Amino acid sequence: MINSKTAIAFEKHFGRKPLMFIAPGRINLIGEHTDYNEGFVMPAAINKHFVFAIESNQTDLFNITANDLDEQISFALDGLKGGNRWENYLMGIVDSFKRRGRKMGGVNCLFSSGIPSGAGLSSSAALCSGFAFALNEIFECGLSKLELALIAQEAEHRFAGTKCGIMDMYASLFSKEGSVMLLDCRSNTHEYLPVHFEGFEILLIDTKVRHSLNESGYNDRRASCEEGVAVLQRTFANVKSLRDVNAEMLEASKSLMSENIFKKCFYIVREIERTQKAAILLKSNDLTGFGNLMYETHWGLSKDYDVSCEESDWLVNWASENRITGARQMGGGFGGCTINLIKKELRPAIIDDVRKKYFAAFKKEPDFYQVELSGGVHKTKTVLDWRER
Ligand code: GLA
């Protein structure tokens, strides 16, 4: 059990019992790249998470151990800097607390991760959200979950250089067991949609293709959307983001923008509409209709938004040829996982066939994760409680 292992490792290292926190990764059923366009997304936390064992140490030093990596670092409250190693994300969180005038001291912290990194499951958002949540509790800073999500997002922007939207950290903090959420990224409010997947389940297939989001592709897509908005504003002065744009407005501005910018905006405008349609289908439990929208999203991501890769396209093609209910690449893109809505009884046959054929095509083994919809970041029991179980 990752929780008890983490607590025991902390005790060995620091000689005391820690406070324990869990911070989950997320899936996203539909609504990709719409969050930074003030659109809708449909994420849920999953049963893959970070575990933090942590205590205040009454100094201004942050002594942190990444248990799985067997790496330790110490940084001071006034020694915070950007970069894309794991400690920079944590420094970004501390910096954002400071910028908001929150008083805090150092901590001893040891964490472990059960979220494969670079797989599109938002491990960095879980790292940031979990650490922020723990600091908020320990130093009684009184920040709301929404403020913690904004802090986690700010840490990624300012310290890791990824201009991500709010979906990942919001999902990690606000999710509810057994539900997905329809998150409105304009108002930063959500509605839980209970999921009744009788006879169906979610299967993630990891392409094992890894592209870090702080490489330029992700930020470039965001810049293209902003460029599109600037062009649209010449004709439609009230447009603030692609959320305010429909297909006719975009068509009317087509001749004013490059084909590349048009395609990026076209995908986003359709995806925002699709996500709202998908929420209606989910409420009426029309999983076939929902699955068809997942396929539409994928081909939009691949052909218009241009964030897919050969391996993801291969997996989604395999899924549609084998009449899988829904499949698409998930997350920021350029690899990571595909999310598949499948009939439960098909899982062994899917795994068997995909494993063989994917290996024959790409000379690497995919991974398969069957995930449950879980609750968001929370404090959990100490090592003693775990041993008593
Ligand atoms: C990454 C970002 C999110 C979101 C997705 C794409 O996960 O962190 O904010 O933009 O990509 O939907």
Count of alpha carbons within 13 Å of 44, Cβ hemisphere only? 22
Quote the pLDDT of residue 214: 57
What are the per-10-residue average pLDDT scores of the chain (389 residues)? 86 93 98 98 97 96 96 93 89 97 95 94 97 98 98 96 96 97 98 93 96 79 98 98 98 98 98 98 97 98 97 98 97 96 97 98 97 96 49
- Take atom 10 of ligand 1 and give the residue whose Cα is closest: 33
Which architecture does CATH list for 200-370? 2-Layer Sandwich (3.30)
CATH number of 5-194+373-380: 3.30.230.10
Backbone angles phi, psi at 249, to 5 degrees: -60, -40
Residue 122: name the closest of 176, 218, 185, 46 by CA: 46
Nearest CA to ligand 1 atom 8: 164
Q: How far is the CA of 344 from the centre of ligand 1 (A)?
A: 28
Write down the pTM of the prediction: 0.96
How high is the pLDDT of residue 213?
Answer: 63
Which atom of ligand 1 is found nearest the CA of 36?
10
Residue 33 CA, closest ligand 1 atom number: 12
Q: What is the rounded CA–CA span in Å between residue 331 and residue 44?
A: 12
Segments making up each domain of the chain, as ranges: 5-194+373-380, 200-370
| Those residues with Cβ within 8 angstroms of residue 371's Cβ, 6 or more apart along the chain or in another chain | 27, 46, 47, 48, 202, 204
Ligand 1 neighbours, Cβ below 6 Å, are 32-33, 35-36, 122, 164-165, 167-168, 331-332
Residue 179: count other Cβ atoms within 10 Å of its Cβ.
18
- How distant, in Å, are the alpha carbons of 86, 101, 333 from that of 83? 9, 23, 21
Question: How far apart, in whole angstroms, are the C-alpha atoms of residue 36 and residue 226?
Answer: 10
Residue bearing the CA closest to ligand 1, atom 1: 332
Instruction: Tell me what percent of the chain is helix, strand and coil, each rounded to the nearest 5.
Output: 45, 20, 30
Helix axes 259-283, 287-299, angle to 10 degrees: 170
For 176, which DSSP code?
-
- Where would I find the H helices in 100-213? 123-138, 145-155, 167-174
Go through the chain and tell me how many residues it has. Answer: 389
